[in-house]
Amino acid sequence: MASEIIEKEIISTGKQCESLPVKSDLDPCVIVIFGASGDLTVRKLIPSLFQMFSNNSLPDPVTIVGCARTSFSHDSFRDMLKEACRCQGKSDIGRWSSFASNLFYQQIQYDSEQAFQDLASFLQKLDLEHGTKGNYIFDMALPPTLYEVVAENLGKAGLSNQFIDGKGWSRIVVEKPFGSDLASALALDQTLRNHFQEEQIFRIDHYLAKETVQNILMFRFANAIFEPIWNRGFIDYVGIMASEKLGVENRAGYYEQAGVIRDMFQNHMLQLMSLIAMEPPSHFESERVRDEKVKLFGAIRPFQRKNDEVILGQYGPGEIDGQKVAGYLQEPKVAIGSLIPTFAMMRFYVENWRWQGVPFYLISGKRMARKETSIVVQFKQVPHSMFRDVLGKNIIANRLVFGIYPEEKISLTFQTKSPGTRVCLRSMTMDFRYEKGPVLDAYEKVLLDCILGDHLLFWRQDGVEAAWKVLTPVLNECEHCQGREQKLHQYPAGTWGPDEAREWVDKIV
């Protein structure tokens, strides 16, 4: 049973800590969403922008332009999105009319230079009408195969120019995955850099915008009690879990090309690991934080090709919430006999002074027992138990858990004496939960940071390359080695993955 904690908020600077920026802090801008008829726009981007509008955290003025191949009028586009926002129920739908007055649509063919010239003319017209001062954000809510052609045509239309005389700025937002391996990541970057400078490119990883994830750095570096023991002398292992109940749903076409390693490890999982393991930057500033992450990726021990370094799995038929579900091979658009992994457990070591010998277990999979994302920092047992003659058993070691989903929280487990005359230990947990104040969800936070021009929660290209260098040998071994079928372990949907990985999964769940 968790102990109760009475929370008292203290603002250490003595100043009011504002949760959200005010409109006057933000440059006016036009937000252009490519792929505006797609799932990401309908489920995430527009509801997030509507919520930001409702809590006054969008600039004033702002306009939002959807672009896709589908034929919409301005009004039919607004009606479709209104229904999506109504179903989510996050914001007061009564404010939709005010929000929709800033919402427009431009049909576009992504491979047509003329279509982008027409888009440029339309954006200039909106600039004059709404006073957005030539500031543009281009959000690529598109399949990765279209990133390069859209970036190229934006440049040819003159929309990538970042003015240095104060007349306006242009930024491009790229969703993961950033390539499918090191070579394709380098090729994508070359295309982007033909027209955009690095400071104009925002590579989104929405996991980094979750409150608990952001709080890891505060927890480590703003408190004197944890960082002295944040090393190989006191920590036994670190486990990072990102499990999903859902299968591939309607994404089989993408997933057949990606698999779990490209989908989750190159971005989300390695980013979470970097926050736990990185060295302290000299200042809390985006470039210095990202410098330390790149150093961490460079210190990860190269792949050893041992059987227990990587365990792969694929979900078969099973049961979720009392309902029978199909296995991966029975999903629509999955290739017959596909050997694409839907589960992976990877063990990494960081070869530096702080972490030498401490294993990092990264686990992610689809169709598992429940949807959960958490980071477990398992401390070592006490070096000498003075209670061994009294208790006759090992003392459970301390454990620190960063809960990211479904509950954003931080929990610390430690030992106390049970009430009574006998000497008995019991584990108690102190919990901190995010329940107070207006909190932006992950996409709201990253969109706001794009408007502010803050890169702290975004990937830098050298970090992307360093992550691919870690994983490319793993992908080569998994995709091109002999005996792939024997190395891909089956697990029933609704379980915690294949039996071969259960020993370590059980230590993290």
Residues with catalytic function = 268
CB of 107 within 8 A of CB of 68? yes
DSSP conformation class of 381: P
Closest CA to 214 of 482, 422, 454, 47: 454
The residue assigned the tokens 């200039």 is: 124
3-state secondary structure 393-436: CCCCCCEEEEEEECCCEEEEEEEEECCCCCCCEEEEEEEEECCC
DSSP string, 71-137: ---HHHHHHHHHHHHHHH--S-GGGHHHHHTTEEEEE--TT-HHHHHHHHHHHHHHHHHHT-TT-EE
| CA separation for the pair 314, 249 (Å, rounded) | 15
CB of 343 within 8 A of CB of 365? yes
CB of 338 within 8 A of CB of 256? yes
Q: Which of left, alpha, beta for 367 (phi over 0: left; psi -120 to 50: alpha)?
A: left
CB of 237 within 8 A of CB of 277? no
CB of 214 within 8 A of CB of 208? yes
| CA separation for the pair 467, 463 (Å, rounded) | 6
Q: Is omega for the bond preceding 61 within 30 degrees of 0, making it cis?
A: yes
Note the Cα 11 to chain centre separation in Å.
28
For 323, the enclosing helix (H) or strand (E) is strand 323-325
CB of 54 within 8 A of CB of 160? no
Closest CA to 123 of 82, 78, 170: 170
| CA separation for the pair 263, 170 (Å, rounded) | 28
The residue assigned the tokens 């870690």 is: 470
Q: Is omega for the bond preceding 177 within 30 degrees of 0, making it cis?
A: yes
Joined together, the tokens standing for residue 355 give 């972490």
343 - beta bridge partners? 313, 365
CB of 336 within 8 A of CB of 367? no
